[in-house]
């Protein structure tokens, strides 16, 4: 590592010595201690747009129009100006520095949403290899939608959800995938997970996991649909089997009992869905294998399985992520929790499912210590960074950073009850895809910052008037830079609640902070960069 903190000395040292094996990125990152976004331009003039994020390779800034209909993509450039006089360093920046266009060049505007639809402003996924962006538009949500056509009761319905695959280089819409009368959790890309070129879309309403592949040509290809069927040819097999004819009399009495009286109804499948069957049989076999004695075994089965059978059978898929190309981590829970924002009080379970062998590998409750231990040790692998994504391989988490681990252990010791702490930590699983910023300023071995005020996780936070300090780790108590959202003098009205969001460029010392109040006042946009 470097012997001096001086950037020139470090550059000379870099010329003559090579870093320890496997640490070249970490060594290069140390230069970010010297190059920080220390200058802020407050309340810059920018067009009335909604900021989403920088793409993970830093090539594009993704924004949406205020009316949620258009996608506007910018290229981050850098402020440039010339000065004729001699000692320019102390001069003020020219007035054009206050303009958004000095830092960003607009590449194009594309209309994604037709009338009646809105772009989901929290949804954006990026494939680094081909520079494709995935966006979502949807129509309005219908609550209390009737459960027809295989849908489950209790989940709202959206008339039309469209996923658009856009080539960000020029804004051409390459492909679309439409889901009708379905419900997919689009906020913060929760219902969709991208791994390399595979996309998993969770249809909460029909309880299916759609796996799609993004081809290099820009086409979205269906790979499989897991839920009702596990293998691609299950449906064919069941349809051709004579035992599969549904019983219409049984369905009619069932519906009358429920008070439903629609004449047109699709016959309910007599079997539980394929994935549910796999899950129930896994739980059964696990309990069966625990005991050798047949009597004790039956007692165990009655107590642990049959007593809870209906609860297990009623579990619904909430969320899914890829662990690798073949394995999915699926979160199950009750129907009420599927759309609820706060799922703390709902029981939840995790299952690891192998898509190729269609087997469930393991099943845990959300308070399982075993799963928490894996989360603590191998958090990086839950982030599923694929080989194509260079910058995402170096996120600073508690599994690869001693400072983050100390912070986690500290929180664990402070927690009033360990099972509650475990549940809270495991509630972050499955993780939201691409929700962490790869910016080196969030690296815990370089900087110390208040995680409650700012962190690499991409979500809105409550805003304070005080600037957020980034303090150097290696030189304790030396403040490297500050990020202050909102106007320079602080806002006059301290009572209204303000929320801030931060967009850090993955490579350049450039960050945008956007402060909004909950009413329709214009947002205050600050830009932080190295002058």
Partner 1 sequence: MLGSWPSIDPHNFSQFKPNDPSNSKRMTPVTYRPTHDRTVPPPDQVIGPEAKNILVRHFYQHAEEKLRTKRASSENPSPERASKVPSFCL
Give the nearer residue to partner 1 in terms of CB position, either 350 or 470: 350
Q: How far from chain centre, in Å, is Cα 129?
A: 19
Rg, the chain, Cα only: 26
**Contacts for 222 with CB less than 8 Å, ≥ 6 apart:** 210, 211, 212
Q: Which of 40, 38, 47, 56 is nearest to 505 (CA)?
A: 56
Minimal distance, residue 211 CB to partner 1, in Å: 17
Binding test (CB under 8 A) with partner 1, winner from 216, 235, 314, 369? 369
Question: Can residue 381 be called a binding residue for partner 1 (CB under 8 A)?
Answer: yes
Question: Can residue 377 be called a binding residue for partner 1 (CB under 8 A)?
Answer: yes
Minimal distance, residue 374 CB to partner 1, in Å: 6
Per-residue binding string, partner 1, 409-428, x by CB under 8 A, is ----------x---------
**Contacts for 172 with CB less than 8 Å, ≥ 6 apart:** 166
CB of 517 within 8 A of CB of 497? yes
Binding test (CB under 8 A) with partner 1, winner from 232, 324, 336, 344? 324
Stretch that binds partner 1, among 9-17, 375-383, 447-455, 507-515 (CB under 8 A): 375-383
Question: Can residue 361 be called a binding residue for partner 1 (CB under 8 A)?
Answer: yes
Question: Can residue 356 be called a binding residue for partner 1 (CB under 8 A)?
Answer: no
Binding test (CB under 8 A) with partner 1, winner from 266, 373, 462, 475? 373
Binding test (CB under 8 A) with partner 1, winner from 152, 223, 323, 335? 323
Alpha helices in 378-417 (DSSP H): 379-382, 402-414
Question: Can residue 6 be called a binding residue for partner 1 (CB under 8 A)?
Answer: no
The 8 Å CB, 24+ separation contacts for 228-233 are: 228/150, 228/269, 228/273, 228/274, 228/275, 229/273, 229/274, 230/274, 230/275, 230/278, 230/358, 231/274, 231/358
Stretch that binds partner 1, among 11-19, 125-133, 160-168, 289-297 (CB under 8 A): 289-297
Minimal distance, residue 498 CB to partner 1, in Å: 39
Phi, psi of 223 (to 5 degrees): -100, -55
Helix 418-426 to helix 402-414 angle (10° resolution) is: 130
Phi, psi of 404 (to 5 degrees): -65, -35
Minimal distance, residue 292 CB to partner 1, in Å: 6
Give the nearer residue to partner 1 in terms of CB position, either 372 or 441: 372
Q: How far from chain centre, in Å, is Cα 418?
A: 26
Minimal distance, residue 155 CB to partner 1, in Å: 26
Binding test (CB under 8 A) with partner 1, winner from 38, 139, 362, 464? 362
Binding test (CB under 8 A) with partner 1, winner from 169, 234, 268, 291? 291
Token pair of 172 as six digits = 């051409």
What count of other Cβ atoms lies within 10 Å of the Cβ of residue 71?
25
Helical (H) or strand (E) element with 335: helix 335-339
Per-residue binding string, partner 1, 257-286, x by CB under 8 A, is -----------------------------x
Q: What separation in angstroms does the CA of 357 have from each of 75, 360, 361?
A: 44, 9, 10
Q: How far, in Å, CA of 55 to CA of 389, rounded?
A: 11
Binding test (CB under 8 A) with partner 1, winner from 264, 289, 477, 489? 289
Q: How far, in Å, CA of 137 to CA of 143, rounded?
A: 18
Question: Can residue 87 be called a binding residue for partner 1 (CB under 8 A)?
Answer: no
Minimal distance, residue 303 CB to partner 1, in Å: 7
**Contacts for 306 with CB less than 8 Å, ≥ 6 apart:** none
Judged by CB under 8 A, the number of residues near partner 1 is: 28
Question: Can residue 393 be called a binding residue for partner 1 (CB under 8 A)?
Answer: no
Give the nearer residue to partner 1 in terms of CB position, either 271 or 378: 378
Stretch that binds partner 1, among 147-155, 377-385, 404-412, 454-462 (CB under 8 A): 377-385
Minimal distance, residue 381 CB to partner 1, in Å: 4
Question: Can residue 400 be called a binding residue for partner 1 (CB under 8 A)?
Answer: no
| Contact residues: partner 1, CB under 8 A | 286, 289-292, 296, 300, 303-304, 308, 323-324, 327, 352, 361-362, 365, 367-370, 373-374, 377-378, 381-382, 419
């Amino acid at each position: 590592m470097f012997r001096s903190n001086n950037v020139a000395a470090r550059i000379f040292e870099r010329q003559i010595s090579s870093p320890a094996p496997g640490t070249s990125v970490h060594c290069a990152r140390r230069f970010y201690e010297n190059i920080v976004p220390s200058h802020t331009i407050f309340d810059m003039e920018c067009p009335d747009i909604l900021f989403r994020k920088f793409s993970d390779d830093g090539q594009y800034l993704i924004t949406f129009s205020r009316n949620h209909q258009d996608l506007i993509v910018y290229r981050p450039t850098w402020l440039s100006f010339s000065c004729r006089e001699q000692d320019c360093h102390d001069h003020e920046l020219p007035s054009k520095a206050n303009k958004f266009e000095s830092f960003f060049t607009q590449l194009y505007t594309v209309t994604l949403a037709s009338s009646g639809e809105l772009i989901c402003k929290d949804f954006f996924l990026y494939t680094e290899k081909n520079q494709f962006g995935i966006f979502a538009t949807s129509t309005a949500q219908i609550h209390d939608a009737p459960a027809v056509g295989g849908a489950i009761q209790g989940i709202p319905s959206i008339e039309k959800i469209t996923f658009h695959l856009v080539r960000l280089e020029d804004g051409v819409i390459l492909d679309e995938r439409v889901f009708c009368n379905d419900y997919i959790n689009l906020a913060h890309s929760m219902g969709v997970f991208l791994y390399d070129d595979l996309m998993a879309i969770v249809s909460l309403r029909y309880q299916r996991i759609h796996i799609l592949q993004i081809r290099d040509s820009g086409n979205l290809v269906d790979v499989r649909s897991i839920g009702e069927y596990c293998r691609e040819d299950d449906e064919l097999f069941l349809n051709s089997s004579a035992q599969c004819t549904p019983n219409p009399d049984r369905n009619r009495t069932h519906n009358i009992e429920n008070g439903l009286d629609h004449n047109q109804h699709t016959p309910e499948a007599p079997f539980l869905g394929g994935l549910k069957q796999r899950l129930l049989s896994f739980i059964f076999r696990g309990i069966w294998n625990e005991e050798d004695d047949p009597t004790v075994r039956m007692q165990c089965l009655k107590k642990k399985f049959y007593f809870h059978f209906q609860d297990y059978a009623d579990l619904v898929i909430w969320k899914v992520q890829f662990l690798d190309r073949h394995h999915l981590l699926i979160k199950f829970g009750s129907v009420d929790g599927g759309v609820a924002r706060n799922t703390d009080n709902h029981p939840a379970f995790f299952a690891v499912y192998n898509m190729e062998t269609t087997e469930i590998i393991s099943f845990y409750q959300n308070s399982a210590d075993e799963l928490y231990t894996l989360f603590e040790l191998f958090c990086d692998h839950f982030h599923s960074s694929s080989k194509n994504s260079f910058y995402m391989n170096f996120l600073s988490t508690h599994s690869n950073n001693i400072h983050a681990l100390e912070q986690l252990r500290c929180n664990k010791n402070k927690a009033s009850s360990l099972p509650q702490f475990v549940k809270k930590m495991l509630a972050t699983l499955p993780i939201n895809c691409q929700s962490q910023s790869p910016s080196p300023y969030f690296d815990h071995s370089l900087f110390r910052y208040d995680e409650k005020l700012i962190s690499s996780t991409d979500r809105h936070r409550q805003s304070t008037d005080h600037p957020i300090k980034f303090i150097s780790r290696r030189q304790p108590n030396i403040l490297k830079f500050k990020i202050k959202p909102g106007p320079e003098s602080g806002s006059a009205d301290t009572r209204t609640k303000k929320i801030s969001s931060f967009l850090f460029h993955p490579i350049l010392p450039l960050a945008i902070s956007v402060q909004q109040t909950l009413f329709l006042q214009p947002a205050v946009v600050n830009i932080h960069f190295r002058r």
